[in-house]
Amino acid sequence: MRITKICCIGAGYVGGPTMSVIAQKCPDIKVTVVDLNVKRINDWNDSNTNNIPIYEPGLSEIVAETRNRNLFFSTDVEKAIDEAELIFISVNTPTKTYGSGKGMAADLKYIELCARQIAQVSKTNKIIVEKSTLPVRTAEAIKSILDSTGNGVKFQILSNPEFLAEGTAVADLLNPDRVLIGGEDSLEGRAAMQSLVDIYANWVPKEQILTTNVWSSELSKLVANAFLAQRVSSINAMSILCEKTGADVNEVSKAIGMDKRIGSKFLQSSVGFGGSCFQKDILNLVYIAKSYGLTEVAEYWEQVIIMNDYQKTRFASNIVKTLYNTVADKKITFLGWAFKKDTNDTRESAAIYIADNLLFEQAKIAVYDPKVNEKQILSDLNYLDSRSSQENEKGITVFTEPYEALKDTHAIAVLTEWDEFKCYDWAKIYDSMKKPAFIFDGRNLLDGKQLEKIGFIYYQIGVGN
């Protein structure tokens, strides 16, 4: 079937960019993105495309080109479902915060709500595409909800996980390593898969579009994220050993990365990985393994998370220890709050946990991030529930200009690898700081030798001092 109308439920970090690129590459297809969040939809429809709710390099230009041509943002979920031949489900699937599987399993309540709404509204046959990352065999649950409507409408369920990374989402969508589509091995299943293949084939070479069974596709997404996160935890595990032995983790990383069998990507040691996916997906994998009674498998992967938590805690303790075992009332400046550069997303950012640790020690934290505002920073801290929102407000000051944030500070923690930090006038910053002036580079971003020449005491992850 040739698709002419697509609906996407969920206008978030995945749904928004993905549908914008599909609309740009398929001008004959009408793409409607719907969301329950009225403000989010209003922001996507803002007359100035620089104000769209998600910051991704290149995205606002695509939205400017396609919006109200064949890309529409709306809160009328039912109308969009009714019209569409193919529906992407791209709602969030956070880690459960209640009940069985609390803190581990994926919370599928939004997915189920979507399935019920689709079942209720649909009058014609439809292809349903799981875009959200889901535990393996979720398609089965969706199918059973859809099939029990009794109104004779037929649904085909496909899994089409997203592999885009935030900050490079547009580039990843335009030029993906592969597109993965899982479907049922039946006449109807293969036809549904072909309809989706045809959409991507408008810009992705056919050999890079991989079709598999639904379960392989669902599981591959979790496995891909687990493998990527494992590399970061592996190099971070070595960073502390480097500090103890006099090896330099950057040199080790380069030396091993040149081995073709290992490869150079995802070997940058850091204060710990963040983002909405890695932790959630690994916990999800661990939970699935446990629920099949596979304790060893679960423990193996859980260690990736434990290592990541350790890296964050040890970074914060190192700051306290170095500042003479007390940071009470000392100003400590964070450069960066987002979980990585080129995004305004802060979900699971290491900065949140470092701040939490230092607030326990009664530090006064100053934050500057080029794309994250005060409201977001406070809401991230309040979400942890470690102290009252008034106490968080007392402990944190957010700046919209870096030099003010850095003035009279005792120490700097570099927590996001924004390029602009490399270009600061570091001699001027040194002059405005309390002495001795410390920098804790959680991203190994800055030129340590240069900084030490100016007079800074510079700490880099994975390099003994």
User: Which residues are marked as active site?
Assistant: 277
> Does 217 sit near ligand UDX (CB under 6 A)?
no
Pairing of strands 86-89, 5-9: parallel
The correct pick among 24, 60, 138, 225 for binding ligand UDX (CB under 6 A) is 225
Min CB(121)–ligand UDX separation in Å? 14
Question: Mind giving me the DSSP string for 52-110?
Answer: SSS--TTHHHHHHHHBTTTEEEES-HHHHHHH-SEEEE----PBP-SSTTTTTSB--HH
Question: Which residues, numbered 250-269, are part of the site for ligand UDX (CB under 6 A)?
Answer: 266-268
> Does 461 sit near ligand UDX (CB under 6 A)?
no
Min CB(391)–ligand UDX separation in Å? 27
Question: Which residues, numbered 27-86, are part of the site for ligand UDX (CB under 6 A)?
Answer: 35-37, 40
> Does 410 sit near ligand UDX (CB under 6 A)?
no
d(CA 95, CA 168): 24
**Of 206, 165, 200, which is closest to residue 25 (Cα–Cα)?**
200
Span interacting with ligand UDX, options 159-167, 193-201, 210-218, 422-430, rule CB under 6 A: 159-167
Coil/strand/helix, residue 291: helix
Cβ-based nearer residue to ligand UDX, 218 or 361: 218
d(CA 169, CA 103): 28
Count the residues in the chain: 465
Residue nearest to ligand UDX (CB): 12
In single-letter form, the type of residue at position 344 comes to: N
> Does 275 sit near ligand UDX (CB under 6 A)?
yes
**Of 458, 406, 448, which is closest to residue 431 (Cα–Cα)?**
406
Question: Which residues, numbered 294-353, are part of the site for ligand UDX (CB under 6 A)?
Answer: 339-340
d(CA 46, CA 35): 15
Cβ-based nearer residue to ligand UDX, 160 or 225: 225
> Does 277 sit near ligand UDX (CB under 6 A)?
yes
Which residue in this structure is represented by tokens 């309390």? 434
Both tokens assigned to 3: 């698709």
> Does 276 sit near ligand UDX (CB under 6 A)?
yes
Alpha-carbon distances of 199 from 39, 80, 205, rounded to whole Å: 30, 19, 12
Cβ-based nearer residue to ligand UDX, 158 or 433: 158
d(CA 214, CA 156): 11
Alpha-carbon distances of 247 from 232, 416, 433, rounded to whole Å: 18, 24, 30
One symbol per residue from 160 to 199: x for binding ligand UDX (CB under 6 A), - otherwise; what is it?
--xxxxx---------------------------------
**Of 183, 185, 178, which is closest to residue 217 (Cα–Cα)?**
183
> Does 9 sit near ligand UDX (CB under 6 A)?
yes
> Does 93 sit near ligand UDX (CB under 6 A)?
yes
Cβ-based nearer residue to ligand UDX, 101 or 395: 101
The correct pick among 6, 7, 8, 13 for binding ligand UDX (CB under 6 A) is 13
d(CA 15, CA 35): 10
Query: Residues interacting with ligand UDX, by CB under 6 A?
Result: 9-15, 35-37, 40, 90-93, 110, 113-114, 132-133, 162-166, 225, 228, 232, 266-268, 270, 273-278, 339-340
